[in-house]
Amino acid sequence: MRTAQSPSACGLCGINEREHFTRYATTDEQGNPLPGHYYTAPTQEQIAARIRARRAERDAEPDQT
Ligand SMILES: [Zn+2]
């Protein structure tokens, strides 16, 4: 199961960039209400944190053999 966000996902709601372009979001990935917005680029800090989270998640996955 994949839980880590794409590093380039929206900085406001975490929805993937490509998916976000097709819709005007009013909730985040968990369905929490947000002011309506279009895709907003994440900060460098958010990108770095997401990359770390993805790496940690990948390292935690058992080998699929
Ligand atoms: Zn968003």
Q: Is residue 53, in this structure, part of any structural domain at all?
A: yes
Q: Is residue 11, in this structure, part of any structural domain at all?
A: no
pLDDT for res 5:
82
**Residue 14: left (phi > 0), alpha (psi -120 to 50), or beta?**
left
pLDDT for res 51:
95
Q: Is residue 24, in this structure, part of any structural domain at all?
A: yes
Q: Is residue 10, in this structure, part of any structural domain at all?
A: no
Burial class, 29, CB count within 10 angstroms (exposed 0-12 / middle 13-18 / buried 19+): middle
Q: Is residue 26, in this structure, part of any structural domain at all?
A: yes
* Residue 5 alpha carbon to ligand 1 centre in Å: 12
The whole-number average pLDDT for the span 39-65 is 90
Q: Is residue 3, in this structure, part of any structural domain at all?
A: no
Residues spanned by the domain of 37: 17-58
* Residue 3 alpha carbon to ligand 1 centre in Å: 17
Q: Are 46 and 56 in contact (CB under 8 A)?
A: no
pLDDT tens digits for 2-42?
A: 567 899 999 999 999 988 988 899 999 899 999 999 999 99
* Residue 39 alpha carbon to ligand 1 centre in Å: 5
Q: What's the token pair of residue 35?
A: 């002011």
Distance CA 61, CA 37 (A): 34
How many domains does the structure of the chain reveal?
1
